[in-house]
Amino acid sequence: MSVDYEAAARELVEARESAKPCAPLRGRLLPEGDVTSAYRVQQLQARRWVDAGHRRVGAKVGLTSRAVQESFGVFQPDFGVLLDDMAVPDSAEVPMGRLLQPRVEAEVAFVLGADLPDERITSADVIRAVDHVVPAIEIVDSRVAGWDISIVDTVADNASSGLFVLGTTPRRLADVDLRLCGMVLEQAGEPVSVGAGAACLGNPLHAVQWLAQTMARSGDPLRAGDVVLSGALGPMVAVTPGAAYEARISGLGSVRTCFSKEAS
């Protein structure tokens, strides 16, 4: 099938702006399994956002769970870009009208203190480049109706990015065991998702290394100051309007977000 990248990008942008999800792109506007074309659609949207005055502040890694990868029939993560207007302050209320069908997941966020420009970087290079880590909640969203997505749909849709919330208790890497750190995500004091660092490619640091290599290979490497959301430590949870969610990660502290009862 011929691919109309502009049409696919336009449909996702319109879904975002109108708050009306679109039909899946796979097999309709993009070939089944064509991840390269999906990233091209993602890049078209990112270029539009930057041209409109937004600033790229980092990137996110998705599909870091082996079980989720198998459900998509892929064997590597994916990624999307983070923009300045996606950042939400810790504990601030998120208007439901900003999102279409949000879900939340707890993650470790890395803030870089140095560039990672070489696709052959090692884990030691990543460790040297990281300034600090903080707990984070990613508010994922999909512009595709009913979350009926394949790897092609989610990559084209900026890896199903929505918003993100960073905690305010920075820690040095040396002070945290990222592989063994436990996580609990609570709603109204009750656990709704639990996990650990090992659920994220065996260690969240591995996710950052993969992302740095991949983005350097694409010619758009990670830079000093970038925020990297390294992937979920446990299952994501559908958002209930009016609810508050708090993620606690051992060694890192906690981060909280809440949602309005109605769209506004």
pLDDT in tens, 106-115: 999 999 999 9
Q: Which two tokens stand for residue 261?
A: 């009862």
Angle at 104 between CA 23 and CA 159, to 5 degrees: 45
What's the confidence (pLDDT) of residue 226? 98
SS3 label, residue 124: helix
pLDDT in tens, 197-222: 999 999 999 999 999 999 999 999 99
In this model, does residue 170 exceed pLDDT 70?
Answer: yes
Region of 197 (left: φ > 0; alpha: ψ -120 to 50; beta: rest) is alpha
**What is the pLDDT averaged over residues 128-156?**
96
Residue with the two structure tokens 């950052």: 208
What's the confidence (pLDDT) of residue 127? 97
Give buried/exposed letters for 59-83 (b at 16+ CB in 10 A, else e): bbbbbbbeebbeebebeebbbbbbb
From first CA to last CA, the distance across the chain in angstroms is: 40
What's the confidence (pLDDT) of residue 264? 62
Quote the pTM value.
0.96
Taken in order 31, 36, 37, 41, the sign of the CA dihedral is positive
What are the C-alpha distances in Å from 199 to residues 125, 203, 209? 22, 7, 16
